[in-house]
Amino acid sequence: MAPHFGYIRVSSTDQNSDRQLEGLDLEEIFIDKVSAMTRDRPGLQQCLRHLRKGDTLHLHSIDRLARNLFDLQKIVSDLTEKGVAIHFHKETLIFTGQDNAMQKLQLQMMGAFAEFERSLIRERQREGIEAARARGKHLGRHAILDQEQQVQILKKRKSGVTPTALAKEYKVSRATIYNVIKKSL
């Protein structure tokens, strides 16, 4: 029986990858917790180096491998030319490298949909940020130190207290102290 491997990708470290490839008997699973917008993913690179002729790579869905058509086609082409079969479970598609016009069409269509979906997500995100700014909403992390604390830090710093001591006293990083100082200049 040919070796079967898996590749799992989630976009962030707090996302759960358990549901992907659940119940499959795989020899090894390679995992990334990063965006698919880059091919520079340690788990993917390790997986690509590991696969050999006759292996099968299992993925939950096409968008777990790539979010743009060019990268998707390149990765699938490189693997199938090497003799690796690729099984996308959600789409129930298997690519073996055989010259099959229908497989090529399906891959391109599904890849184009994944890329389109990513573009829509980014567009909605940008619109949401612009709308929030227009309503005067504060975006990003809230300030750790209030205005009064910042004034106290500046006074103490002028009297010679070190940034390290201030960071300990206010239970913040030195970078936060330096940012308060920099903001006052």
- Helix 42-50 vs helix 69-81: angle between axes, to the nearest 10 degrees? 20
Closest CA to 154 of 175, 181, 183, 185: 181
Active-site pick, 11, 17, 61, 77 = 11
Catalytic site residue 35?
no
**Do the strands 56-59 and 4-10 form a parallel or antiparallel pair, or are they unpaired?**
parallel
Which residues are tagged catalytic? 11
